[in-house]
Amino acid sequence: MRKRIICVIPARYGSERLPGKVLYKIGGKTMLQRVYERAKIVGIFDKIYIATESRKVQEECEKFKYEVIWTSENCRTGSDRVAEAIGKIKEKIDIVVNIQADEPFLPIEALKKPLEIMLGNPSINISTSVTKIREKEDLYNPNVVKVVLDKENNALYFSRSLIPYPRIYFNPDKLYSSKKVVFYKHIGVYIFRKVFLEKFAKMETTFLESIEKLEQLRIIENGYKIKTAIVKKDSPCVDTIGDIEKLKM
How far lies 57's CA from each of 50, 173, 230, in Å? 9, 40, 32
Q: Which residues, in sequence order, are CB contacts of 22 under 8 Å at separation 6+?
A: 11, 12, 13, 15, 30, 31, 32, 57, 101, 102
CB 132 within 8 A of CB 231: no
Question: What pLDDT score was predicted for residue 124?
Answer: 98
pLDDT tens for the chain, 249 residues: list them: 789 999 999 999 977 777 788 999 998 999 999 999 999 999 999 999 999 999 999 999 999 999 999 999 999 999 999 999 999 999 999 999 999 999 999 999 999 999 999 999 999 999 999 999 998 899 999 999 999 999 999 999 999 999 998 887 777 877 766 667 899 999 999 999 999 999 999 999 999 999 999 999 999 999 999 999 999 999 887 777 777 777 765
Residue 74's φ and ψ, nearest 5 degrees, are -105, 20
Question: What pLDDT score was predicted for residue 174?
Answer: 75
Largest CA distance in the chain: 55
Question: What pLDDT score was predicted for residue 107?
Answer: 94
Q: Which one-letter DSSP state was computed for residue 101?
A: T
Question: What pLDDT score was predicted for residue 178?
Answer: 66
Question: What pLDDT score was predicted for residue 15?
Answer: 75
Q: Which residues, in sequence order, are CB contacts of 79 under 8 Å at separation 6+?
A: 10, 98, 190, 192, 197, 200, 201, 215
CATH architecture of 5-248: Alpha-Beta Complex (3.90)
For the entire predicted model, the pTM comes to 0.93
CB 228 within 8 A of CB 147: yes
Distance between CA 136 and CA 127 in Å, rounded? Answer: 27
Question: What pLDDT score was predicted for residue 227?
Answer: 98
